[in-house]
Amino acid sequence: MAVLAVALPAMAAAQTREAQDAAMRLPPIPALEALLRAAPCAFSEAARHLAPLPSNLPWARPAAVLLFDGLPGLAPGDRAALVRPTRELMARAATRARIAEGDVTLHASDLSLLPADAPAPAFLALHIAPAATPPEGCIAPGPR
C-alpha cells in the first residue's frame, strides 16, 4: 500500500506538468466567445485529454487545452478548457462577469487556483459540465 501512496502523487505531479507544458504553448486569446460556443464539444467523441478543444464551428478553433481532470477547483465529472488570457480579455466586463458566475476560474503558471480578483492570472479555465445530450457536429482540430 505504501507504493500506491507514493505513486499517486507522482502521477498527479506528472499530469500537472504535462498540462502546464500544453497550456504554455497556447497563444493568448483576446476573447472568450469562440471558446464559449465550442464548450459543449468538450464531451464529444473527438475530445481528448490535453488536446485542443474540438469545435462545433469548423472555422472557429479556440486556442484552448482540454482537461478532463487534475485541475484544482474542477468538479468531478466536469471538464475544463484552459486558455492563456490577454490583458484586454481580463479587462473586459464580460470576462469578469463570467468569473463572478463561477464557471471560469483563474490559475497561476503552476495551475494552482487563484482568487477571482487576481489581477494577472497565467491561465483561465472554463469549467464545462456534462450536457444532457451528447454534442453533435464537433470536429477535432487538425494539425496547425
Q: What is the pTM of this model?
A: 0.84
Domain membership flag for residue 144 = no
Quick: pLDDT tens for 32-75. Answer: 999 999 999 999 999 999 999 999 887 777 899 999 988 999 99
Domain membership flag for residue 133 = no
Q: Is the distance from CB of 69 to CB of 75 less than 8 angstroms?
A: no
> Which residues are CB-neighbours of 116 under 8 A, at least 6 positions away?
99, 100, 105, 106
> Which residues are CB-neighbours of 106 under 8 A, at least 6 positions away?
99, 113, 114, 115, 116, 118, 121, 123, 124, 125
Question: Phi/psi class of residue 73: alpha, beta or left (left: φ > 0; alpha: ψ in -120 to 50)?
Answer: left
Structural domain total, the chain: 1
In which domain, by residue range, is 19 found? 2-128
Give the cell for residue 82: 484552459
Domain membership flag for residue 111 = yes
